[in-house]
Homo-oligomer: A and B are copies of this chain.
Amino acid sequence: MGEALNGLKRTIMCGEIRESHLGQKHVVMGWVQRKRNLGGLVFLDLRDREGILQVVFGEGINKAAFEKADLVKSEYCVAVEGEVVKREAPNENIPTGMIELKGESIKILSESETPPIYIKENLDTDEMIRLKYRYLDLRRPDMQKIFKIRHKTAKIVRDFLDENGFLEMETPMLTKSTPEGARDYVVPSRNYPGMFYALPQSPQLFKQLLMVSGYDKYFQIVKCFRDEDLRANRQPEFTQIDMELSFVDMEDIISLNEKLIQKIFKEVKNVGVKLPIRRMPYSEAMNKYGSDKPDLRFGMEIVDISDIVKECDFKVFKDALENGGSVRAISVPNSADMGRKQIDKLTDFVKTFKAKGLAWIAYKEGEIKSPISKFLKEEEIGAIINKIDAKFGDLILIVADKNSVVLQSLGALRLDMAKKLELLKDNKEFNFVWITEFPLVSYNEEEERYQAEHHPFTAPMDEDIPFLETDPGRVRAKAYDIVLNGEELGGGSIRIHDTSLQEKMFQVLGFTKESAWERFGFLLDAFKFGPPPHGGLAYGFDRMVMFLAETENIKDVIAFPKNQNAYCPLTEAPNVIDQKQLMELNINFQEK
């Protein structure tokens, strides 16, 4: 049973009342966080989106209100009218802690059963329960804080891009399925039996069309979809901040986006981002950090020691070098005393990245221990220590193999060691870096052909165009990723707008004229009619909010997320649909 408002108006939010309101009469509405009956007084902690307010009812203030207030339980929704008075026992932990509301009347707007989860910060209830009762989980103040951040961030982005001449334009959700790429979610068509729309993985082709159409600067905060096996922090539907600009080069896009990033972090987190943001070519990122999204908040850089060991007697090193590979190392601080078992675990770890093994040198004051010391001259070990700038107590970890394996395994090992050593504990830094000069294409050994690293419309760097025909693997792209604390926040590229260059690119990728047309027909058609030079960038909005809200769980920043199996415990989607509708769609299901 609930009472009606009957014209009663809220005059202020619970969390907004301060000492400046003392003596004023106010009406507040919200949820009962807690009720205490201390004999002649009932205290309610009343909660709304803006905070918590203490309300006190007394037999001496208003007996009827006191008695009614005593009926309420946790999570009842109530309206209270009363006077703001000074609190006898101030609570300095909350902004409303100096005052309380002397309750003169109360309406019970609705009752509540005992909630199955606590409405409090830092809940560690099972995720399945949190998702099933998401409407209660979303009541928690830390969740509400996240969605305020999400709203505010979107608002800042929109204001900034509007001020900079961008138009927000909507691209279709029901669009065309493109073979290759990630798996599309598809939507059967009733009008065209056997045919499907696809939900977009990104508005890429449409935003390029809008540039051909002369819209000059486009953006959109937009849902995108991928039907992939879900890993941690992936969701079937996710949100991008997507933009595309005409008549610009990479510098224009980077400098505009640096200003945007600066503004977001200033306004949401009061953190200054120093501009220009550091830039690092892809090759440097790979060589030093074994990753195209390096975490630069700590060192432990990868060092190439091939030169030093090239004459040594250790067959593993020699073989790697003779096969065109390399020998590289990282120096892990305060780990020279690591036990053999732990080192064996690290060896197992790098093997998951296809490394054949892990060599090590424990560098302690007055002692150097290493299973490979018998193969290396003292000068060689000294040179390694010297080159990697090891300190007493460091453990040098070495991998020898082909370059891709060496870099990937040492890059992963570097992150793993940083985690184990808690190097980033209590680190509040936001460390940005632009990664540039990505390879345009990579060779797919299985399919014996080159494939685009970004997509086939990414422009090569001008100075590398001559290599497109002679040595495609060497061509660098006008592509750029913005990386924050070792995570890709966004990325983009300048696109090819020249038909003959585009044709050359398709040749490199092994497309025939026909197959290129089949996939990208309407964009290629459009490019016949004076396409402008253009480029763009897209951010993962969910991930951005994760950084701003300081959570590592993507489900915390999406109001109604799916679980790991793309299932929604709240609505029980997906579910079965009417047989009639299946008939209309002409769909049968195969026997299992």
Contact = CB atoms under 8 A, between A and B. Distances in A.
A424 interface: no
A210 B559 contact: yes
Contacts of A522: 570-572
Given A112-B530, A167-B147, A135 B562 contact: no
Interface string A485-510: 00000000000011110000000000
A368 interface: no
A529 B169 contact: no
B530 A237 contact: no
Contacts of A348: none
A499 B2 contact: yes
A40 to B, nearest CB: 26
A366 interface: no
A526 B194 CA distance: 39
B109 A572 contact: no
A206 B151 CA distance: 17
A530 B155 CA distance: 30
A560 B171 contact: yes
Interface residues of A, number: 130
A384 interface: no
A279 interface: no
A4 B189 contact: no
B191 A529 contact: no
Given A110-B532, A247-B10, A199 B173 contact: yes
Interface string A188-225: 11111111111100000110011011111000000101
Nearest to A230: B191
A124 to B, nearest CB: 19
A176 interface: yes
A303 interface: no
A147 B215 contact: yes
Contacts of A155: 158, 162, 168
B529 A49 contact: no
A586 B167 CA distance: 41
A148 B172 contact: no
B571 A213 contact: no
A187 B189 contact: no
Given A109-B533, A176-B571, A169 B192 contact: no
A293 interface: no
A227 interface: yes
Contact of A567 (B147, B192, B193, B574): B192
Interface in A236-257: 236-237, 239, 246-249, 252
Interface stretch (A75-83, A92-100, A395-403): A75-83
Interface in A334-381: none
Interface string A59-75: 00000000000000001
Contacts of A190: 183, 227
22 contacts: A1-B499, A2-B497, A2-B531, A7-B249, A29-B247, A49-B216, A75-B529, A79-B247, A110-B497, A110-B499, A110-B532, A112-B530, A135-B210, A147-B167, A176-B573, A179-B578, A183-B584, A194-B576, A196-B577, A223-B223, A587-B589, A588-B589
Interface of A: 1-2, 4-7, 9-10, 13, 29-32, 47-49, 75-77, 79, 109-113, 115, 134-136, 138-139, 144, 147-148, 150-151, 154-155, 158, 162, 167-177, 179, 183-199, 205-206, 209-210, 212-216, 223, 225, 227, 236-237, 239, 246-249, 252, 462, 497-500, 521-522, 526-533, 558-560, 562, 565-568, 570-578, 581, 584-590, 592
Given A2-B497, A31-B214, A186-B581, 14 more contacts: A2-B499, A5-B248, A49-B215, A79-B247, A110-B527, A135-B529, A155-B162, A170-B558, A173-B223, A174-B236, A177-B581, A183-B190, A196-B574, A196-B577
